Amino acid sequence: MKILVCVSKTPDTTAKIAFKDNNTKFDEAGVQYIVNPYDEWYSLVKALELKESGVATQVTLVNVGTADADPIIRKAFAIGGDDGIRVNSDNSDSFFIASQIANVAKNGGYDLVLTGKETIDFNGSSIGGMVAELLDVPYISLATDVKFNGNTATVKREIEGGDETNEVSLPLVISCQKGVAEQRIPNMKGIMASRTKPLAVQEPVAAEALTTISSFETPPPKAGVKLIPADNVEELVRLLHEEAKVI
């Protein structure tokens, strides 16, 4: 089995988010970038577990981005993976990105495509489903457990109020979340090996961008807090009714 793992570059979770150019562009000044945690901690590690157990033979990373994503891909290499492909584009449209990943998956003959459930910057959760549609293969989202018996995958996923277990044959696309694999920390051997792992750069195929960003907005500032004595229930009810208007 050949596995293709999607990795994205996202701002560090501690980064201070700001916008520029009349709130139409993300301000990257002083921002530290990381591998999208859902890609690094879950989909990539799951792929490595499958290879280590003998189920998979190859794990390839794929990223759609410009040269400034190369250090992020190398950081993902430190966790594991055999090689990587970067599609050279700064387009952030989900359909465009999915089209590039689907093209890589099709031309490379990959049996399984793994993504994180979402990126922590856009929170779109759309790439996996689009890739599956473009490849005309099954898609299972929010996987918390994946096991293989030959070419058949048994995938457990979260649904409202419980879990759902699916059986599906390869090829397929799965988005992963917490529970599907144990997080790993890069060791010195992995860090040293990441510097020399092959990273191919290819130009994007023609694909239409279906969305554009018109503007960004930050959340409104938090309002002040009013403390009500525990024995003054009537005042609490009045404030909830007249000011907060929640009852």
Domain residue ranges in the chain = 2-214
Phi and psi at residue 150, in whole multiples of 5°?
65, -125
Alpha-carbon torsion angle 48, 49, 53, 58, nearest 10: -20
The secondary structure element, H or E, covering residue 175 is strand 172-176
Average pLDDT over residues 201-218: 93
Phi and psi at residue 76, in whole multiples of 5°?
-70, -35
Phi and psi at residue 187, in whole multiples of 5°?
-100, 175
pLDDT in tens, 105-114: 999 999 999 9
pLDDT of residue 100: 98
At residue 125 the predicted structure's pLDDT band, cuts being 50, 70 and 90, is very high
pLDDT in tens, 12-68: 988 888 999 999 988 989 899 999 999 999 999 999 999 999 999 999 999 999 999
With contact defined as beta carbons under 8 Å apart, do 9 and 36 qualify? yes
* Architecture label for domain 2-214: 3-Layer(aba) Sandwich (3.40)
Q: Around Cβ 31, how many Cβ atoms within 10 Å? A: 14
Distance CA 76, CA 246 (A): 46
With contact defined as beta carbons under 8 Å apart, do 182 and 148 qualify? no
Between strands 172-176 and 112-116, the pairing is: parallel
Whole-angstrom distance between the N-terminal and C-terminal Cα of the chain?
56
With contact defined as beta carbons under 8 Å apart, do 51 and 45 qualify? no
Model confidence at 138: pLDDT above 90: yes
Q: What is the pTM of this model?
A: 0.87
Alpha-carbon torsion angle 33, 77, 192, 45, nearest 10: 110
